[in-house]
Structure 1
Amino acid sequence: MPGAAVSARVEQVYREDSRRILATLIRLLGDFDLAEEALHEAFFVAVERWQRDGVPDNPRTWLVSTGRFKAIDVLRRRARFNASRPLLIAQLEELEQAHWSGEEVEDDRLRLIFTCCHPALAADAQVPLTLREVCDLTTEEIARAFLVAPATIAQRIVRAKAKIRDAKIPYQVPTLTELPERLDSVLRVIYLVFNEGYSASVGDELTREDLTREAIRLGRLLMELLPEPEVMGLLALMLLHESRRPARTSADGELIVLDEQDRGLWDAGLIAEGCGLIERALAGGRFGPYCLQAAIAAVHAEAATAADTDWPQIVGLYDVLLRAVPSPVVELNRAAALAQRDGPLVGLTQIDGILQRGELLDYHLAHSARAEFCRQLGRVEEARAAYLRALELTRQVPERRFLQERLRGLD
């Protein structure tokens, strides 16, 4: 295979499988930093070896094995210069003797998620650590999801890694008796992964299909382990949102808002599966925020046109959701629903109340929603200022083009 073709294949494998490989290496090595180093060493070796020997039948297994041997070499060198450190030597001996099979690769990301969400870790570190290590999001992307400074996220991740190492937190999926108490943080992680894929925080593309696909895969795995209503609700929510993907952008990559989408492009199979799941989840009468959000998504999915949307039902569901999980973001979404039911002035009043409390001041969607309501009310200068503020806060190219087009519309 020509060198350029091999390089392209290595890049493809890195893009599609590097986090799965890293998850296995973390479990095998018991050290995040060593695993990260081993991962990059393995891909470096692959560029040379695959040109000489050809691409292996199972590149992922080959890379895990190569990374493991590279890590053993690193530990040998460290042991040679630190012979007085018995823990290092013991780690090397354990790694050299450990058995590993390529069949173990598939579920390691779910195992790693449960490790990153272990109750021994600080609650505010669990999700950032998982997003960084399992999904390869940068600290900047994670910080945007949490609306906090990147330096704060970086510190949380470093402390969490040290805690896992020092407390010897195991890399394993909990037993069935332990699963329920560990579930909330894992559901939160999977949904944040999906959200980053559904609306990427930065970049030239609106979506990152690799992340939405991975979140849905993890949701399915989790439902096999624990078919609880909230697990069903989360999976339903992701499927219903994912069903809209084909209609969310134009042929040239421009953003299309929900009311203007061609609903004939929505994926009927995903909608049917999602609606079926949420019906099952709600039938038991025991449900939480993911089920409520999925129920809202189902109301949208069942409307043949935007005009057919049952906004009173959506507002009612948001009322229940807001009581269950008080949140300024939920309040913002409810304001948008109220504007559809009762008019833009009602929605604007709600958003102004949120902003006046000092909440969501750095959240671009709050300002873009405010701008839209001002535009509808003919308050042009207020709309212009709000669009400009939203434009300052977003780094996603399609959203920036959308906001710039709205600004030109005001002129």
Structure 2
Amino acid sequence: MPPDAGRAAEQVARQSYGKLIAFLAARSRDVPAAEDALSEALAAALRVWPERGVPDNPEAWLMVAARRNLMQAARHRTVQANAQATISLAFEEAEERMNEAGKSVFPDERLKLLFACTHPVIDRSVHTALMLQTVLGIEARTIARSFVVSPEAMSQRLVRAKVKIREAGVPFAVPSGAALSGRLAAVLSAIYAAYGLGWDGLDGEEERHSLAGEAIWLGRALLTVLPDEPEAIGLLSLMLHCEARRSARRDGNGRYVPLDEQDTATWNAIMITEADVLLRKAGSFDRFGPFQCQAAIQSVHAARRFSGATDWQALTTLYAALVTMKPTLGARVGQAAVIGRAVSAAAGLERIDTLDPRDVAAYQPYWAVRAFLLANAGDDIAAADAYMTAIGLSDSPAVRNFLASRLEQVRQASPG
């Protein structure tokens, strides 16, 4: 009996989606057409593989099938003859190379697709979302939740952006000079956003864990192209520092463990060492940016392995720098949490109270930090209310259970 064809197709789609789309789109200059062609190839796999068995190289099979679908669709559209000939020759060459010894040898061109998604003709507000979907195959509804917009609105924005890439003839290439510096920040942000989505998969979802790994791979690939970009180096250092602690985020019973309570012996020392080496390399360029700053913050936390204590004053200094460079909501909430530990809970609350209530109403980390600070300040009733809000905004069962235990503690401490 052949292996489970559906599971095999799902696995190769998850692992190779971005690579396949990037290769197809870089040659056809048509992201929606590439997505349609790959979708049809996946549907064909579900029909054919149960009867014939899963091929030795599923990725190559899907590429050949998608290429044929793309060419067939092109024949049904009114296109310039020379353009169609160019596409045809490119795919004929790709198919010939893939059929050699049954190996998939087509190049991984996701970096080119990342930069295509940040072209100036594409609205800046959709850059990150577009990269998350086209390069990593994240569904529009998941992206919409991260950007706090409706799935319908996000889908419409993504469709318009993909059409714009085709109509404007956006080149699929890593830019150079001033064009590179202007678009690199968006690419770095998209890779980190992808890692963040994978990091949020606390409760063991294989797909989320895989997404974090893909983001790290993209970070490494970017460094092979841009080895002297300090912020690219800083981003990889940041992701490796966070990834080194993945297994420590839950205890043996699956319960969530906050960073300052994690057993440092369970952290990946090899990964932390690599992250610190990268951070020192980034610092040698004398261009300090927000990703390097965030990596430095994580490095301070990692130093607890040796000192046994967290240097909260150092974190206060680094967060002040981060908020100056990039005053995101996450950075400002993190700063308040650190001030609450380095100075006092009252000082942390004073800082967090400066945030606009409209910005934080649905931001779960704000409510979790606020609850912690209120509890440490002795305001158990207000802390309980904040914990309730944080629990309601959390998607993770493990985090909800952790916050519920903190809620129970403040309720027991409250005179009422």
C-alpha distance in structure 2 between counterparts of 1:300 and 1:160, whole Å: 40
Q: Does 1:285 find its partner at 2:277?
A: no
Superposed CA deviations along residues 314-344 of structure 1, whole A, max 9, x for unmatched, are 1011111111222332111111111111122
Q: 1:116 to 1:53 in 2, by over 3 A?
A: same
Could you tell me whether the CA contact under 8 Å between 1:198 and 1:206 is conserved in 2?
no
> Mind listing any 5+ residue stretches in structure 1 that lack a counterpart?
80-84
C-alpha distance in structure 2 between counterparts of 1:144 and 1:206, whole Å: 20
Could you tell me whether the CA contact under 8 Å between 1:205 and 1:396 is conserved in 2?
no
C-alpha distance in structure 1 between counterparts of 2:279 and 2:38, whole Å: 39
Q: 1:124 to 1:34 in 2, by over 3 A?
A: same
How much does 1:355 deviate? 4.2
C-alpha distance in structure 2 between counterparts of 1:22 and 1:138, whole Å: 14
Question: Match of 1:246?
Answer: 247
Deviation beyond 6 Å, 4+ runs, structure 1: none
Q: Which secondary structure state, in structure 1, belongs to the residue aligned with residue 183 of structure 2?
A: helix
C-alpha distance in structure 1 between counterparts of 2:323 and 2:181, whole Å: 23
Cα-Cα RMSD: 2.5
Q: Which amino acid aligns with 1:58?
A: N
How much does 1:175 deviate? 4.2
C-alpha distance in structure 2 between counterparts of 1:238 and 1:365, whole Å: 19
- Output aligned runs, 1:45-60, within 5 Å: 45-60=44-59
Question: Match of 1:21?
Answer: 20
TM-score calculated relative to the size of structure 1: 0.89
Q: 1:395 to 1:64 in 2, by over 3 A?
A: same
Question: Match of 1:379?
Answer: 379
Bigger mean CA offset, 19-28 vs 121-130: 19-28
Question: Match of 2:212?
Answer: 212
C-alpha distance in structure 1 between counterparts of 2:348 and 2:307, whole Å: 18
C-alpha distance in structure 2 between counterparts of 1:397 and 1:139, whole Å: 23
The percent of aligned pairs where both chains have the same amino acid is 35
Bigger mean CA offset, 152-161 vs 97-106: 97-106
How much does 1:179 deviate? 2.9
Q: Which secondary structure state, in structure 1, belongs to the residue aligned with residue 55 of structure 2?
A: coil
Q: Does 1:262 find its partner at 2:263?
A: yes
Q: Which secondary structure state, in structure 2, belongs to the residue aligned with residue 33 of structure 1?
A: helix
Q: Does 1:364 find its partner at 2:364?
A: yes
C-alpha distance in structure 1 between counterparts of 2:5 and 2:200, whole Å: 32
Q: Which secondary structure state, in structure 1, belongs to the residue aligned with residue 387 of structure 2?
A: helix
Could you tell me whether the CA contact under 8 Å between 1:335 and 1:347 is conserved in 2?
yes
Q: 1:55 to 1:204 in 2, by over 3 A?
A: closer
Q: Which amino acid aligns with 1:63?
A: L
C-alpha distance in structure 2 between counterparts of 1:51 and 1:378, whole Å: 63
How much does 1:184 deviate? 1.1
Question: Match of 1:40?
Answer: 39
Q: 1:250 to 1:61 in 2, by over 3 A?
A: same
C-alpha distance in structure 1 between counterparts of 2:60 and 2:212, whole Å: 24
How much does 1:205 deviate? 4.4
C-alpha distance in structure 1 between counterparts of 2:193 and 2:258, whole Å: 21
Question: Match of 1:231?
Answer: 232
Bigger mean CA offset, 21-30 vs 166-175: 21-30
How much does 1:307 deviate? 5.6
Could you tell me whether the CA contact under 8 Å between 1:206 and 1:398 is conserved in 2?
no
Question: Match of 2:399?
Answer: 399
Q: 1:275 to 1:382 in 2, by over 3 A?
A: same
Question: Match of 1:116?
Answer: 117
Q: Which secondary structure state, in structure 1, belongs to the residue aligned with residue 8 of structure 2?
A: helix
How much does 1:207 deviate? 8.5
C-alpha distance in structure 2 between counterparts of 1:75 and 1:328, whole Å: 45
How much does 1:189 deviate? 0.9
Question: Match of 2:87?
Answer: 95
Bigger mean CA offset, 325-334 vs 162-171: 325-334
Q: 1:244 to 1:136 in 2, by over 3 A?
A: same
How much does 1:159 deviate? 2.1
